[in-house]
A and B are shown apart, each in its own frame.
Chain A
Amino acid sequence: MSDQTENEESPLAGEAYTLTSEPKLIDGRRVLGVVPGKPSTGESKDLIDEDAVMVWPHLLVRHAVAALAVMLLVLLLALLFDAPLREIANPNLTPNPEKAPWYFAALQELLAHFHPLVAGILVPTGILFGLAALPYLDRNAYLKPRHRKVAITAFTAFLGIWIILTLVGFAFRGPNWGWVWPWNEWYGEL
Chain B
Amino acid sequence: MKVMDRVRHSMMGRSFFRAPDRVTTRDVAAGHWANFFLHIYPVKMRRKEISFRYSWYLGAISTVLFGSLVASGVYLMFFYVPSPANAYGDIINLETQVAFGQYIRNVHRWSAHLMVLAVSFHMARVFYRGAYKSPREFNWVIGVVLLLLTLLLSFTGYLLPWDQLAYWAVTVGTGMATYVPFIGDRVSEILLGGPAVGASTLIRFYVLHVALLPAVLVVVLAVHLWRWRKDSMLDMERSEP
Size of the chain B interface, CB-CB below 8 angstroms: 90
Q: Choose among A74, A108, A117, A155 the residue with the greatest number of B CB atoms under 10 Å from its CB.
A: A74
Interface check B164, CB cutoff 8 A: yes
B224 to chain A, nearest CB (A): 14
Question: Residues of B contacting A111 with CB < 8 Å?
Answer: 176
Distance A147 CA – B45 CA, assembled complex (angstroms): 25
Interface check B186, CB cutoff 8 A: no
Q: Which of A59-97 contact B (CB under 8 A)?
A: 59-60, 62-63, 66-67, 70-71, 73-75, 77-79, 81-91, 93-95
Interface check A38, CB cutoff 8 A: no
Stretch of B7-15, B60-68, B214-222 contacting A (4+ beta carbons < 8 Å): B60-68
- The reply to whether B46 and A51 contact each other, CB–CB distance below 8 Å, is yes
Distance A102 CA – B107 CA, assembled complex (angstroms): 18
Question: Residues of B contacting A58 with CB < 8 Å?
Answer: 50
Stretch of A2-10, A12-20, A134-142, A178-186 contacting B (4+ beta carbons < 8 Å): A134-142
A114 to chain B, nearest CB (A): 11
- The reply to whether B169 and A54 contact each other, CB–CB distance below 8 Å, is no
A82 to chain B, nearest CB (A): 6
Size of the chain A interface, CB-CB below 8 angstroms: 79
**Interface SS of B by simple majority:** helix
Given A66-B57, A70-B61, A95-B168, residue A41 in contact with residue B25 (CB < 8 A): yes
Given A40-B25, A121-B176, A189-B169, residue A82 in contact with residue B102 (CB < 8 A): yes
Can you give 7 contacting A-B residue pairs, CB < 8 Å? A49-B47, A66-B64, A91-B167, A100-B172, A101-B158, A121-B181, A135-B138
A interface residues (Cβ-Cβ under 8 A, vs B) = 25, 28-30, 40-41, 47-56, 58-60, 62-63, 66-67, 70-71, 73-75, 77-79, 81-91, 93-95, 98-104, 107-108, 111, 116-117, 119-121, 128, 131-132, 134-136, 138, 141-145, 147-148, 152, 155, 159, 189-190
